[in-house]
Amino acid sequence: MSPLAKRLAAYLDLTVAERDAIVRLEARERRVGRGEVLAHAGDRADQFYVVRAGWLHSSAARPSGERQIFAFHFPGDLVSLSNAGWVDPAHTLTAVEDCIVSPFPKSQLGALFAQAPRLGGLFYALAAVDYVALCDRLLALGRLDGAGRVASLLLEISSRLRVAQPHFGERFHLPLTQIDIADCVGLTKVHVNRVLRELEERGLIAREGRLVGLSDRDALVEMTGFVDRYAVVATDWLAATAPRPPSLQAAIQ
Amino acid sequence: MSPLAKRLAAYLDLTVAERDAIVRLEARERRVGRGEVLAHAGDRADQFYVVRAGWLHSSAARPSGERQIFAFHFPGDLVSLSNAGWVDPAHTLTAVEDCIVSPFPKSQLGALFAQAPRLGGLFYALAAVDYVALCDRLLALGRLDGAGRVASLLLEISSRLRVAQPHFGERFHLPLTQIDIADCVGLTKVHVNRVLRELEERGLIAREGRLVGLSDRDALVEMTGFVDRYAVVATDWLAATAPRPPSLQAAIQ
DNA sequence: CGCCTGTTTGAGAAGACTCAAAACGGGTGG
DNA sequence: CCACCCGTTTTGAGTCTTCTCAAACAGGCG
């Protein structure tokens, strides 16, 4: 089953037409190797993406070279927010590990808004979730020390993985380098290393190669003020699927 | 004229039905005094808002008291992203100065997505703009020093004010306290004060009470890597409502 | 085996913070 | 009209987190 349809179905009871519209977004398939850049900030690119397998991240770099990672994209994610507003993408999209993505032209999302407006609203709600999660990270960068920043990133990733895998424990494979973590939470790789070590020594996390375990989730939540933004998404404000009033239907067509 | 309709009309040629749908969002009117809290994070509130006059900001606070300001909301802005995803708002909405807002129930936005899907797409694109602007601030917090952070905030505010007032110079009224600035860029109020002084001494900004002037915009852009995300918004990917000259479908310059 | 990327460790420097207190300014009440 | 008050801005001194520079170590791959 399509990973995007699966995720959306968890939030909303999809009609057949809606399900079809989603599946059409995933018609194509493209493999991307670890480290490969799918789209580069500033380059012309008229595509959105659905992630089918693997992690990607979106980032931007300053002329001087420092990089900031804004978001990680997991299977079932729609990657559109960083280039819906302009002709050229604002962020660079890079594969963290080997991935499969479905690119589709932007206009197809426009058509989906017209043909399945309730899905449009759902995408809006999911954009709001991403926005608020980013605000949480901003709060971490602005007001937490290194340990808190790293801890809140681990909690966030764990929460998002849990959405896709309900039977997910407190231990997971983290394909990020310490450099990636540093570029995401605004520290240097050297300091990230010290912080991870410190968290481990305090018994808050466990590490084994690239496996990470949240040994004391309560303490991590306590030190970061973490809120899970992904567990529940409200869709009650979306209009029912019912046909539109004929008057407006005419006006639109 | 409704400030929201005016702003959207700058991005898209609105049909009569679309314009009506927007105006309906602004049916009610509520005055909010300086410092007053419109909606508190966590409280039940089933409303979105259109800003008609004045500035507001959305923020969150940690149990320990530190606050982070995520966004400023100007006349013509739709304030919905911070609570579209949940029943309860994720952020606290506070008036920076005396304001007039139009609250409307969330379900009305759902209806708008159904009845004017092209506007739904436009709201999605504008959400993307807010998202990317927030990413820019995240980059500033993660990778710039105090002076760069404050400078990029001033540039961002100036860019957004320019959208509403095309004949806007490099000098503007900034109703924020240094505490507000500090809570937005993740510094202490003491350090913001020193940074503002330093920027002034270096001839990059000018201050006179709460009037701020960007004396050397080029240097500010150079030191921050600032990109104006608000000047142009691409709406070409939205489905057409009716046949229109192709020239208008392209990104509005 | 050597190379490259990523991780770990050390020592000193720098930016930002804390604490503290003084100066300022607009609004209020006497 | 003045004195007072509170929120805000400004200034100083000392401290601490994080950065920088540097180098050693580990592991996977050709």
Within 13 Å of residue A17, how many CA atoms lie on the same side as its CB? 11
Q: Cβ–Cβ of B132/A91 closer than 8 Å?
A: yes
Nearest to B56 by CA among B42, B40, B36: B36
pLDDT above 70 as % of chain B: 94
What distance in Å separates the CA atoms of residue B123 and residue B228, rounded to the nearest whole number? Answer: 19
The pLDDT tens digits for A129-140 are 999 999 999 999
pLDDT-derived band at B246 (thresholds 50, 70, 90) equals very low
Question: What pLDDT, on a 0 to 100 scale, did the predictor assign at position B132?
Answer: 97
Round the average pLDDT of chain B to a whole number and report it: 91
What distance in Å separates the CA atoms of residue B168 and residue B170, rounded to the nearest whole number? Answer: 7
Higher pLDDT, A242 or A106: A106
Nearest to B48 by CA among B28, B21, B33: B28
Mean per-residue pLDDT, B107-114: 94
**Which residues pair with residue B125 across a beta bridge?**
none
Concatenating the DSSP letter of every residue in B33-76 gives -TT-EEE-TTS---EEEEEEES-EEEEEE-TTS-EEEEEEE-TT
Mean per-residue pLDDT, B66-93: 95
Question: What pLDDT, on a 0 to 100 scale, did the predictor assign at position B184?
Answer: 98
What distance in Å separates the CA atoms of residue A29 and residue A26, rounded to the nearest whole number? Answer: 7
Residue B206: CB less than 7 A from any atom in strand D: no
Residues A238/A12, Cβ–Cβ less than 8 Å: yes
The pLDDT tens digits for A215-224 are 999 999 999 9
A235-249, B74-88, B97-111, B126-140, range with the lowest pLDDT: A235-249
Round the average pLDDT of chain A to a whole number and report it: 91
Mean per-residue pLDDT, B110-122: 93
Q: Cβ–Cβ of B142/A186 closer than 8 Å?
A: yes
pLDDT-derived band at B33 (thresholds 50, 70, 90) equals very high
A-chain residues near B246 (CB < 8 A): none
Question: What pLDDT, on a 0 to 100 scale, did the predictor assign at position A239?
Answer: 78
Question: Over the range A148-181, which residues count as b (16 or more CB within 10 Å of their CB) and which as e?
Answer: bbbbbbbbbbbbbbbbbeeeeeeebebebebebb
Token digits of residue B108: 């009305």
pLDDT above 90 as % of chain A: 82
Residue A223: CB less than 7 A from any atom in strand D: no
Nearest to A29 by CA among A6, A10, A9, A52: A52
Mean per-residue pLDDT, A33-60: 93
What distance in Å separates the CA atoms of residue A150 and residue A221, rounded to the nearest whole number? Answer: 12
pLDDT-derived band at B245 (thresholds 50, 70, 90) equals very low
Concatenating the DSSP letter of every residue in A50-108 gives EEEES-EEEEEE-TTS-EEEEEEE-TT-EE-TTTSSSSS-SSEEEESSSEEEEEEEHHH
pLDDT-derived band at A50 (thresholds 50, 70, 90) equals very high
Question: What pLDDT, on a 0 to 100 scale, did the predictor assign at position A241?
Answer: 58
Backbone phi and psi for residue B37, each to the nearest 5 degrees, phi listed first: -95, 120
Question: What pLDDT, on a 0 to 100 scale, did the predictor assign at position A193?
Answer: 97
Q: With 60 as the cut, is the pLDDT of residue A244 above it?
A: no
Distances (CA, A) of A176 to A30, A200, A249, B105, B149: 22, 17, 49, 42, 27
The pLDDT tens digits for A63-93 are 888 999 999 999 999 999 999 999 999 999 9
What distance in Å separates the CA atoms of residue B105 and residue B49, rounded to the nearest whole number? Answer: 9
Question: What pLDDT, on a 0 to 100 scale, did the predictor assign at position A51?
Answer: 96
pLDDT above 90 as % of chain B: 81
A-chain residues near B146 (CB < 8 A): none
Residue A181 CA and nucleotide D14 C1' are separated, in Å, by 33
Interface test with B, best of A78, A86, A222 (most B CBs within 10 A): A86
Which nucleotides of chain C have an atom under 7 angstroms from any protein CB?
A: 5-11, 15-20, 26
Q: With 90 as the cut, is the pLDDT of residue B120 above it?
A: yes
pLDDT-derived band at A2 (thresholds 50, 70, 90) equals confident
Question: What pLDDT, on a 0 to 100 scale, did the predictor assign at position B241?
Answer: 59
In the complex, which nucleotide's C1' lies nearest to the CA atom of residue A66? D19
Residue A191: CB less than 7 A from any atom in strand D: yes
B-chain residues near A46 (CB < 8 A): 237
Q: What number of other Cβ atoms are within 10 A of residue B128's Cβ?
A: 23
Question: What pLDDT, on a 0 to 100 scale, did the predictor assign at position B209?
Answer: 85
Question: What pLDDT, on a 0 to 100 scale, did the predictor assign at position A164?
Answer: 77
Higher pLDDT, B192 or A240: B192
Question: What pLDDT, on a 0 to 100 scale, did the predictor assign at position B243?
Answer: 40
pLDDT-derived band at A250 (thresholds 50, 70, 90) equals very low
A-chain residues near B59 (CB < 8 A): none
Q: With 60 as the cut, is the pLDDT of residue B248 above it?
A: no
In the complex, which nucleotide's C1' lies nearest to the CA atom of residue B194? D10
Token digits of residue B205: 């900004």
